[in-house]
Amino acid sequence: MLSDLFSASVIIGILVSGIRLATPYLYAAIGETFGQRSGMLNLGVDGIMLMGAFSGFYVVFLTGNYWLGLLAAIIVGGIMGLVTAFINVTLQAQQGISGIGVFLFGLGMSDLLFQKLVNDVETVSGFPNAPIPLLSNIPVIGEIFFNQNVLVYGAYLLVPLAWFILNKTTLGLKINSVGENPAAADTLGVSVTGIRYLTVTVGGILAGIAGASLSIALLGVFQQNLTNGMGFIAIALVYFGGWRPLGVLAGSLIFSMVNSLQIWVQVIGIPIPSDVAVMLPYILTILVLILSAGRFRQPSALTKPYERAG
């Protein structure tokens, strides 16, 4: 049985689904990275993902147009990000707690709307696989990397883009300065409030896309608590990745590959109780949090609201 796991087709299967499973984590965690680099912990990601997942699903359910669905998820995610920014930046709420409120709101609201508006097991056909010409014909690699849907490609393009913005642009410099020393940034004329509104709203939009990537690309369904805590995992991946997009990518891949392996172990029928297998990624995350703790310094102003002195 165990030898089955090492056959080429299974390994490719694990890699294909691992790459795909990482998509929602990547969107959500990269979005969270922007926020945290500017000093804002958004703990409500899971709630925003659920709202994004539902609105994307519902629009596709109504119109059959998955691009419109994606747009709906972006708008809803953006609005929830904006509201989160208002709560945490303007009203200076304690971020570790307000996020639980946003999460509960999203959990309840998405369930409420689903029951009221759909209330049935409905599947929609979301983003189809879009093989990239030529590249997808490469044996093995083509199947793994270049025969996925558009949202998967987007997630992986987002990583270098985020790296570039955070490390190579003036905007990135401003985001970092606001996250490290808001008072100094303020003195230099950087709008602390403006930057934080921007990063948290962008984080909301990306969380919305993360939800949509689940409901209208990966699965094609919506149900109560569809994300099942993925947003919280995404936050853990930001810590895990040391607040760097490439670290987040590594973390998301490791987490998803273990998850994918776990699914394939069950498909093949290797006698490990499925519950133990499902547990593994979470235990792994805790272990990595232990190992990575202290290796990276978190943004100095993380979770600290800023108010001008005087």
- Please report, as ranges, the residues that interact with other proteins according to CB under 8 A: 43, 47, 87, 91-94, 96-98, 100-109, 111-112, 115-116, 224-225, 228-229, 232-233, 235-236, 239, 273, 275-276, 278-279, 282-283, 285-286, 289-290, 293-294
Two tokens at 103?
């999460």
Three-state DSSP class for 296? strand
> At a CB cut-off of 8 Å and minimum separation 6, what does 110 contact?
47, 50, 51, 53, 54, 222, 224, 226
d(CA 279, CA 258): 10
Angle at 273 between CA 2 and CA 268, to 5 degrees: 35
The residue (of 141 and 278) whose beta carbon lies closer to other proteins is: 278
Smallest distance, other proteins to C-beta of residue 139, A? 37
- Do residues 299 and 39 touch, judged by C-beta distance below 8 A? yes
Three-state DSSP class for 293? strand
φ, ψ dihedrals at 295, nearest 5°: -75, -35
> At a CB cut-off of 8 Å and minimum separation 6, what does 51 contact?
76, 77, 80, 106, 109, 110, 208, 211
Phi-psi region of 64 (alpha: psi -120 to 50; beta: other; left: phi over 0): left
> At a CB cut-off of 8 Å and minimum separation 6, what does 33 contact?
162, 166, 238, 241, 243, 244, 245, 248
The residue (of 84 and 176) whose beta carbon lies closer to other proteins is: 84
Two tokens at 255?
């987490």
The residue (of 32 and 264) whose beta carbon lies closer to other proteins is: 32
Please give the DSSP secondary-structure letter assigned to residue 89: I
The residue (of 153 and 232) whose beta carbon lies closer to other proteins is: 232
- Do residues 44 and 98 touch, judged by C-beta distance below 8 A? yes
